[in-house]
Structure 1
Amino acid sequence: MDLPPEPPTLRVFVALAPPDDAKDELARALQPACAAYPRLRWNRIEDWHITLAFLGELPSTAVPLLRSALAGAAASHPALQLGLRGGGHFDERLLWSGIDGDLEGLHALAADVRELVRSCGIEFRDRPLRPHLTLARSRRDDPVSVPQAAAGLGGFVGRPWWTERLHLVGSNIGRGPGPIRYRDIEAWRFGAAVRTADDGAPAGP
């Protein structure tokens, strides 16, 4: 069976992804909000991610350059201990959960990733990093659901976890109607492997 041809451009970003059990923990905390605010456009749990650098629409020919640079970035960085905490919103339209833990390491990783992207000759809008996990978006005629859902998450504190991989992700945003979908183009393990304690809790890299 022939594979579909690679599109001439890709909308891509570099990100981290929480492990499944951390996402499941947050999903349980979100159940009351999902029931209370059905008009929100909820992201799929498998698409939850923490963006380090949004690169926008790039020629497909740029991907091999990024693969090499990002593989090196992952190999040279240790895993980070992070967690999901609380909730907030941007402009009453976008609901997010906050990021807790080694924020200094997270900012350092994002800075290195962005510098490596620039070293590949790739231009992008270098916005300040505001670590968060996007959960849902509201409709234009609904200014209250997102702030109210964010307030309901105020007391949420997730368990800590260790990052495993650096992800290069593509999305189909702007490619037709329907919800945004993401797919890993490639992912690379961090240089310090994650160990697990006998009880299953993260024991550190």
Structure 2
Amino acid sequence: MILFAAVLPPPAVVAEIAAAVERSPRAERLRWSDPRDWHLTLAYYGPTSPEALGPLRERLAASAAATDPFVLALRGAGRFGDRVLWLGLGAGEPEITALAAAARAVGPGVAAHGAPGEDRRFTPHLTLARAGRPATPLAPLEAALADVAPPPWRVRRLVLLTAPPPGTAPQPGSPRYTALASWPLGGPATAPATPPG
């Protein structure tokens, strides 16, 4: 299974972003993410063996317990070249960066169990769309979504998501990612993992 740690926006935020995306210009060869899949990735663990799941859960629970809830706000679009269109942060970047560092630190600790993690420069963002080949110019869409400002929210949970293997499409009408567990921020490290809801 492919695992990663993330923060999920609440339904009100998702609805406002979805409305802004719906009003934006359409572009060819652009794959828009399903709003049910919108998240901010904190740490990507990649292909993970079932034996790693227990240790990974324990360490993520401890990371969540050591982090107080905090306010996060998404503000305006950005892009990685002409490959990925995303929303960035207008508030909460120091806190989300610290939580991401804690989540990434979990990977090496459970590498022996098959969750190696991935070390890359962290740019907190929520992916809206990916360009196909040949690439679609994303600058006009970035400009069209520059003023997107959904309401801030208090991040209260750390979530462990699973993704289908590369090249595998989700069932039609189904989201791509599935929440396996979540933990309250600032809660006891021994709190039971629960699906977000």
> What range describes the TM-score normalised by the shorter chain of this pair?
0.7 to 0.9
Q: Match for residue 24 of structure 1?
A: 15
* CA RMSD, 1 decimal: 1.9
Contact 2:17 2:150 in 1 (8 A): yes
Matched, 1:135 2:125: no
Query: Which of the residues 62, 70, 73 maps onto 1:80?
Result: 70
Contact 2:29 2:136 in 1 (8 A): no
Q: Secondary structure at the match of 2:52?
A: helix
TM-score by length of 2: 0.84
Identity of aligned residues (%): 34
Structure of higher CA gyration radius? 1
TM-score by length of 1: 0.81
Cα distance in 2, alignment partners of residues 94 and 173 from structure 1: 20
Matched, 1:159 2:151: yes
* 1:82-123 CA-partner distances (Å, limit 9, x unpaired): 111100111202110112212111111111122233222342
Cα distance in 1, alignment partners of residues 22 and 128 from structure 2: 12
Q: Tell me: CA distance 1:120–1:177, structure 2 relative to 1, closer, same or farther (3 Å).
A: closer
Matched, 1:126 2:119: yes
Q: Tell me: CA distance 1:23–1:38, structure 2 relative to 1, closer, same or farther (3 Å).
A: farther
* 1:112-158 CA-partner distances (Å, limit 9, x unpaired): 122233222342221111000001112212422x3221111112222
Q: Tell me: CA distance 1:37–1:164, structure 2 relative to 1, closer, same or farther (3 Å).
A: same
Q: Equivalences for 1:31-180 in 2 at 5 Å? A: 31-33=22-24, 36-37=26-27, 39-121=29-111, 122-144=115-137, 146-177=138-169
Where has structure 1 moved over 6 Å in runs of 4 or more? none
Cα distance in 1, alignment partners of residues 28 and 19 from structure 2: 16
* 1:42-61 CA-partner distances (Å, limit 9, x unpaired): 11111000001111111121
Q: Secondary structure at the match of 2:48?
A: strand
Cα distance in 2, alignment partners of residues 50 and 177 from structure 1: 21
Q: Which runs of 5 or more structure 2 residues have no equivalent in the other structure?
A: 188-197
Q: Match for residue 198 of structure 1?
A: none
Cα distance in 1, alignment partners of residues 26 and 110 from structure 2: 46
Cα distance in 2, alignment partners of residues 182 and 15 from structure 1: 11
- Per-residue deviation at 1:25? 1.0
Cα distance in 2, alignment partners of residues 69 and 156 from structure 1: 35
- Per-residue deviation at 1:30? 1.0
